[in-house]
Amino acid sequence: AERTGRRLAMTATPFEVDVSQWADVLERVGVDPAPLAPVIEQYGAAVKAVRLCPMDSQEPERFGRAASDFRDALSPYLIRRDKRESPAVQAFQRAWGPPIHAYRDERDIRITPALLSLSWRQAICAAEAISMLTTPARSRTLQRLRLTIGNGHGILSALDECLRDEQQDAAQLDHETQLAKLDAPGDEPAAPSSTGRVERLRWWEGVLRATFATDIGASLYDHPGIDAAVRAIEEADEQGEKVLVFGRFTLPMKALTELLNARRMLRDLAAERPWSQSTLPDAEWAAVKAAHRQLRLPGQPNRSAIEAQLADQYRLLENARERSRNRLIERLADGLAPLPESARPRRLLDALRASPEGIAPLTRALVEILGREADDAAPSSWAEAFVELVDASADRDEADGDGDGQLDEEEAARLWPNLVQRFAGEYSGAEGSFARRMHGDTSPSTRRMLQVAFNRPHSFPRVLVAQSLVGREGLNLHKSCRIVVLLHAEWNPGVVEQQIGRVDRVGSRWERALGDAIQGGVPVVELPRIEICPVIVEGTYDEHNWAVLRQRWDTLRSQLHGVVIPLAEVGNDTAMASRADAINALAPNFSPMRGNHDASVCG
């Protein structure tokens, strides 16, 4: 068996930070990396050299030889299909021109400290000062503060351990601790050796604490990173786009979600648009006050008046839902009629008929999923939403009862109450749902239902704020979204690639929008692209962090994605663009369409 067997390693990123990591994945499939190490290192050096002097007449030839050797060395063990083979990316390149990776648009959300309030300028300066004064005993907390102050992530947890949500942030913190050596090797500042430095450290900490001294919640709602993200998100929403946001820690993610919902609620109430909320919980009032001030609405926020408006409009919304409830079974029966009687959705419809108390929560769920098209949607659309909803709500071991691949009447009757309970739990909340949050404690069924709703073009949520560790793997969020906002800087480009990969997938909204734009003769400069929007505070360590990340990201793409000369280095120089295109064309390609692979495989 050992002589004929094969080992298969499946990974999206064989290496993430440094080319030496190729050795790890090769060892996992039983390959001795030592003979390959010189070729891998030689290719890494060739990439650096050709980027440094791309117009040197000799460098492209040297790079081509190194790329060929690199491909030949790894081809027996590696297969990988990348975006160079995507029909949509190829169509974009034909319309736009080189390079192949221009279909992604990195568009920074930049914050200029000089335009901030005095207290926030002092806070950012304090964070920078602290980064030079940390002590060994306190460096972990304050180092996190230095890396994240500019984006609203971990500010409070860095300032005061009691403000961290230990339960919801535990997995994220443990993950970052494991990656600490890779994240910022050799980057720990020297410890202060004098009492004077310790006193300065305490003084700068006091400056930071003063930013949050009066109202922690209000301070986060006013944080410049969150404020910049809100403005970018709302601008995208006005253009009909959904937005996927990645964050790290619970408090800032929660503040961002609450603020987005509060601002949208106040706007909808002012415009007499329906808002699926009947009351105003105490937990939301601080966000509503901040939103009222930020939107510069007249007067002071009046909670009683807002709650009266919510109650009035909610009655109208309930009347519309009642009309939908009265027609629900008829619509589903018509929409599901093409399916055989034994099909799972039809079995569950029979269970609904037998237990009509499930009609109300199911109707609310389907109306939320269908969005503004619910009233006029055809029975087939209601049926499609029903199938997606029950598929998302049922756990795998519930899907076919006894595991025979079928759902009989008794199994459907047992499953149906569980599904109804999940519909009610997910869609009967008092909080707004314009923006939703996904974190470590979000149940698997809720994650799946959020995925269904987010992939619908006209439904809430319009914004999904996902904790990085939770949302960057295993979710397909591409059907109605092409914009990713990154609230924090990473050291690992593989993580960012995973985040963007949630929307950069086959059958994505971007692919459909591109096809429509090309067919409609849209000017090249207006072609839709996948937008990647990191929030960056200018002139801070945060900006340096992003620069390092992009360098590492470029290294990853030069080895796996066929991108040797990045778009940012080309600019408007036509000669440089032509040379970059020629160099990128020499990049190694490990597609299975290019040759046979008869040994161990990783890809």
pLDDT digits (tens, 9 = 90+) for 547-568: 888 888 888 888 888 888 887 7
Q: Please, which pLDDT band fits residue 154 given cuts at 50, 70 and 90?
A: very low
Q: Please, which pLDDT band fits residue 431 given cuts at 50, 70 and 90?
A: low
> Cβ atoms within 10 A of the Cβ of 542, count?
26
Please give the single-letter amino acid code of residue 19.
V
Q: Identify the pLDDT of residue 80.
A: 84
**Residue 181: pLDDT above 60?**
no
User: What whole-number distance in Å separates Cα of residue 192 and Cα of residue 138?
Assistant: 11
Structure tokens at 453: 């709703």
Ordered DSSP codes for 362-384: HHHHHHHHHGGGTTT--HHHHHH
User: What whole-number distance in Å separates Cα of residue 466 and Cα of residue 457?
Assistant: 19
Between 14 and 294, where is the model more confident?
294
Between 130 and 187, where is the model more confident?
130
Q: Identify the pLDDT of residue 147.
A: 45
Provide the whole-model pTM.
Answer: 0.85
Q: Identify the pLDDT of residue 150.
A: 42
**Residue 430: pLDDT above 70?**
no
Q: Which helix (H) or strand (E) holds 301?
A: none
Q: Residue 78 gets which letter from DSSP? A: B
The pLDDT of 426-438, averaged and rounded, is: 81
The pLDDT of 293-312, averaged and rounded, is: 94
- The percentage of the chain sitting over the pLDDT mark of 70, rounded to a whole number, equals 81
Distance of CA 535 to the CA centre of its chain: 13
Q: Please, which pLDDT band fits residue 13 given cuts at 50, 70 and 90?
A: confident
Structure tokens at 479: 């059907």
Helical axes 250-270 vs 282-294, angle rounded to 10°: 70
**Residue 156: pLDDT above 50?**
no
Pairing mode, strands 463-467 and 8-9: unpaired
Q: Identify the pLDDT of residue 193.
A: 47
Between 535 and 99, where is the model more confident?
535
**Residue 601: pLDDT above 70?**
no
- Check: CB of residue 163 under 8 Å from CB of residue 148: no
The pLDDT of 47-64, averaged and rounded, is: 88
Q: Identify the pLDDT of residue 186.
A: 41
**Residue 145: pLDDT above 60?**
no
Structure tokens at 536: 């960056």
Q: Identify the pLDDT of residue 353.
A: 94
Q: Please, which pLDDT band fits residue 165 given cuts at 50, 70 and 90?
A: low
Average pLDDT, rounded, for the chain: 82
106-110, 171-175, 507-511, 598-602: segment of lowest average pLDDT: 598-602
Question: Nearest Cα to 470, choosing from 175, 215, 120?
Answer: 175
**Residue 404: pLDDT above 90?**
no
98-112, 122-136, 316-330, 549-563: segment of lowest average pLDDT: 122-136
The pLDDT of 447-476, averaged and rounded, is: 88
Q: Identify the pLDDT of residue 35.
A: 92
Residue appearing with tokens 């390609």: 589
Q: Please, which pLDDT band fits residue 461 given cuts at 50, 70 and 90?
A: very high
Backbone φ and ψ for 289, nearest 5 degrees, come out as -65, -45
Q: Identify the pLDDT of residue 60.
A: 87
Q: Identify the pLDDT of residue 2.
A: 56
